[in-house]
Amino acid sequence: MLKELRIQNFKGWKDTGTIRLAPISLFFGANSSGKSSIGQFLIMLKQTVESADRKAVFYPGGKNSAVQLGSYQEMVFHRDPKNKIAFDYRWSLMDCLEFKDPLTSQTFSGNELDFSAEVELIDSMKNLPQIAEFKYRLLNNDTQSLSIAFSRKSNKSEYTASAEQYNLVRKKMRAWAPKDVVRFYGFPDEVVAYYQNAGFVQSLNLAHEKLFGSIYYLGPLRTKAERLYTWSGITPESVGFAGENTIAAILAARDRKISLGYRRPTKPFEEIIALKLKEMGLIEEFSVTQISAQPQSYEVYEVKVRTKGSEDWVNLPDVGFGISQVLPVLVQCFYAPEGSIILMEQPEIHLHPSAQSALADVMIDVINSRENGKDRNIQLVIETHSEHFLRRLQRRIAEDSISQEKVSVYFANLTKTPATLESLQIDKFGNIKNWPENFFGDEMGDITAQAKAAMEKRKQQNSQKGDISNESAG
């Protein structure tokens, strides 16, 4: 689970400041305020980790990528190639990281990692960014066990490793220094060859890859519902960037059973999805049914629902658009494996205000959910415009359904130059102490203007009645 994040000189952000990430983290702001850039940055790092090119510091994305950010100059703040993109994040480890110095037998362990890096453009003509430095800090209950950095030598392509609380010992007859970095985060194999006791850096590399392997992204526009779906029996990694694998995920998860909290009963996966759709007031019943098997060894399914007040089952495309848009959201939240970090943009899109409120309750169930007798430890990072979603979370905090520590809310403020990311302080009663001006538009201004306009209209009507009375009297 990500605990902290800071980004500098990326797109519209000079400096986001340190962002506290909770099990449910919300980002608000006007259109083009930069809130989407935060998720885009994490997705770009994920794309880089999973890219085939080990030497590419950043992979901005291609035709079929979740994000496409262009060149370094296009993504750096003010498009100034002299700016360095810097970032720092801290995350908790699913399993404690432990290793022993082979030379001293001293043991080092930690349950958190902190990573920081600086990326710069050395040659603007080649447009190939390079790592200036990256650094890992292994922490055990907020206490540093050790740190190790990998830094590029001035005006050279060579790198050198340096450590705190750990004595790196060079191997004899190894005169040349490492020259490469694995993407933006990785120690090359040459580091292990260069030092007698640097084998543990491979564990740091793997921990980083595991972190980004746990991140899943769902975009703001999901695919339209179809009348028929085919399934070959595969188990998709996720519902896809646009929810294109939603029905396949439901079918692949039919044997799974999930509980919505400690000591709450387990239910089949599909039943959980149907229950949440019903609680949101969208349907009464939900069914994914096989209608035929093809000789090419894939099966054909249809998705039908029964809405409130109706006895008839109808095909998914024949009901409100909001159902097909929120279905991938629900499936992704419960389908993602233990320890997943789910990034979502506008999960509330095309939903009625009451359904938006109910969606917040679903998200509470997601972070409380359990499977196989263990907490799923799901983290949700959500970009949203929904006042109703936030208000429901505030209410649940006041009702002690969720603690305020499990919710983090940020507002991208464009009124300042450069833009700032402001943390909204929620107390145990669900109150937000520092509401930004016009956070959800000028509600009070609209109410005042309406009242003023109504008063003027009444005056005009009364004046017209008076004129008519005077004419009649004359």
In percent, the amount of the chain with pLDDT more than 70 equals 94
Going by pLDDT thresholds of 50, 70 and 90, the confidence category of residue 172 is confident
When mean pLDDT is compared across 252-261, 407-416, 450-459, the lowest value belongs to 450-459
pLDDT confidence of residue 379: 98
Determine the 3-state secondary structure of 473 from DSSP. helix
Q: Which of 71-80, 288-297, 448-457 has the highest mean pLDDT?
A: 71-80
Determine the 3-state secondary structure of 106 from DSSP. coil
Whether residue 127 has pLDDT greater than 90: no
- Residues β-bridged to residue 292: 300
The rounded distance, in Å, linking the Cα atoms of 355 and 348 is 8
Q: Which has the higher per-residue pLDDT, 194 or 446?
A: 194
- The pairing of beta strand 19-20 with beta strand 143-152: unpaired
Going by pLDDT thresholds of 50, 70 and 90, the confidence category of residue 448 is low
Cα atoms found within 13 Å of the Cα of residue 372, Cβ hemisphere only: 6
- Comparing CA positions, the residue from 159, 217, 468, 173 lying closest to residue 341 is 217
pLDDT confidence of residue 32: 72
Determine the 3-state secondary structure of 455 from DSSP. helix
pLDDT confidence of residue 434: 87
Going by pLDDT thresholds of 50, 70 and 90, the confidence category of residue 306 is very high
- What are the pLDDT digits (tens) for 181-237? 999 999 999 899 889 999 999 999 999 999 999 999 999 989 999 999 999 999 999
Going by pLDDT thresholds of 50, 70 and 90, the confidence category of residue 292 is confident
In percent, the amount of the chain with pLDDT more than 90 equals 76
pLDDT confidence of residue 447: 59
When mean pLDDT is compared across 31-35, 76-80, 300-304, 445-449, the lowest value belongs to 445-449
Whether residue 324 has pLDDT greater than 90: yes
Going by pLDDT thresholds of 50, 70 and 90, the confidence category of residue 124 is low
Going by pLDDT thresholds of 50, 70 and 90, the confidence category of residue 414 is confident
pLDDT confidence of residue 461: 81
When mean pLDDT is compared across 216-230, 286-300, 422-436, the lowest value belongs to 286-300
Whether residue 442 has pLDDT greater than 60: no
CATH fit for domain 216-402, picks 3.40.50, 1.10.3470, 2.60.40, 1.10.10 = 3.40.50
Q: Which has the higher per-residue pLDDT, 378 or 177?
A: 378
Angle of helix 321-335 relative to helix 269-279, nearest 10 degrees, comes to 140
Q: What is the mean pLDDT of residues 92-107?
A: 94
- What are the pLDDT digits (tens) for 351-406? 999 999 999 999 999 999 999 999 999 999 999 999 999 999 999 999 999 999 99
> Hey, where are the domains in the chain?
2-213, 216-402, 442-474
Q: What is the mean pLDDT of the chain?
A: 91
Residue 313 neighbours by CB under 8 Å, 6+ apart: 285, 287, 304, 305, 306
- The pairing of beta strand 215-218 with beta strand 341-345: parallel
CA 474 to each of CA 128, 217, 280, 460, 466: distance values in angstroms, whole numbers, following the listed order: 89, 76, 63, 21, 12
pLDDT confidence of residue 474: 58
The rounded distance, in Å, linking the Cα atoms of 41 and 386 is 23
